């Protein structure tokens, strides 16, 4: 049994022992694999030596005895090593990879390369369509059509969505906001004319069943040259359904 204060380890630190046999008057010993400075224990013939009194270990490779060894002395080096568990998150690492799924309960905040910018990820955005949850795994909200916009309120961590035709206006056209750009006025607008720039076939695949009405509130529909608008069987096309052009 070694004589002297034994080495103590915390839960996440391991150790290994390396032995060497001294030659006559030997003072320097190269430790196989090296060591971490101030994290090594040295024993001579089972007696623990004192760092700075009996030996020095300052370069991570060589241990120097301050009193030369006698031929046949046994030197034992107890070396502290990091104990790294696979697939754990290590602090202060420049980059690392976690194999398998990572489940986070609560918010996950990621700091970007831009100073002062961070991003919060929740398990799922609470979005439903027709009673079906669609938030989980969704990475993009795509707003289609003029007047459909959103604004991010960083102070409340909220996205305000404006849908064309919504708000306090008449429910048709694009809502008109006050000067703050967010609050809806009682008004909305409808463009006087619009151009059809691509071929469109209005039929049962995109305009309801066998019989349906296809309407537009815009008074003037201009079909560009070379563009075809085909109204299928059973479809009734009504332009300027509100007769805005008569105002």
DSSP string, the chain: --BSPPP---TTEEEEEEEEEPPTT--EEEPTT---TT-EEEEETTEEPPBTTTEE--SSSEEEESSPPPTT-EEEEEEEEE-PPTT---TT-S-----S----SS-EEEE-SSTT-EEEE-S----EETTEE--TT-------STT-EEEEETTTTEEEEE-TT-SSS-SSSEEEE-TTSSSEEEEEE--SEEEE-S-EEESTTTS-SSSEEEEES-SEEEEPTT--EEE-TTEEEEESTT-GGG-
Average pLDDT value for residue range 151-160: 70
140 band by pLDDT with thresholds 50, 70 and 90: low
Tell me: pLDDT of 115 over 70: no
Domain edges within the chain: 13-82, 138-189, 193-246
99-113, 131-145, 178-192: the lowest-pLDDT one: 131-145
């Amino acid at each position: 049994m070694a004589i002297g204060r034994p080495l103590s380890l915390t839960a996440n630190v391991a150790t290994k022992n390396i032995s060497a046999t001294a030659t006559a008057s030997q003072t320097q010993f190269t430790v196989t694999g090296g060591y971490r400075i101030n994290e090594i224990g040295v024993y001579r013939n089972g007696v623990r030596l004192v760092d700075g009194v009996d030996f020095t270990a300052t370069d991570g490779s060589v241990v120097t005895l301050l009193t030369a060894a006698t031929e046949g002395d046994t030197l034992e080096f107890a070396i502290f090593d990091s104990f790294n568990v696979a697939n754990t998150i290590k602090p202060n690492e420049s980059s690392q990879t976690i194999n398998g799924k990572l489940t986070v309960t609560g918010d996950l905040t990621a700091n970007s390369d831009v100073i002062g910018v961070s991003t919060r990820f929740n398990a799922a955005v609470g979005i439903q369509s027709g009673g079906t949850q669609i938030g989980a795994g969704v990475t993009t909200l795509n707003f289609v059509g003029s007047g459909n916009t959103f604004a991010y309120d960083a102070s409340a961590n909220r996205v305000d969505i404006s849908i064309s035709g919504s708000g306090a206006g008449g429910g048709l056209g694009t809502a008109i906001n006050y000067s703050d750009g967010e609050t809806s006025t009682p008004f909305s607008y409808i463009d006087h004319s619009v151009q059809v720039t691509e071929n469109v076939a209005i039929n049962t695949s995109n305009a309801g069943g066998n019989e349906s009405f296809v309407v537009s509130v815009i008074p003037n529909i201009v079909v560009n040259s070379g563009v075809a608008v085909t109204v299928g069987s059973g479809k009734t096309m009504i332009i300027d359904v509100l007769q805005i052009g008569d105002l």
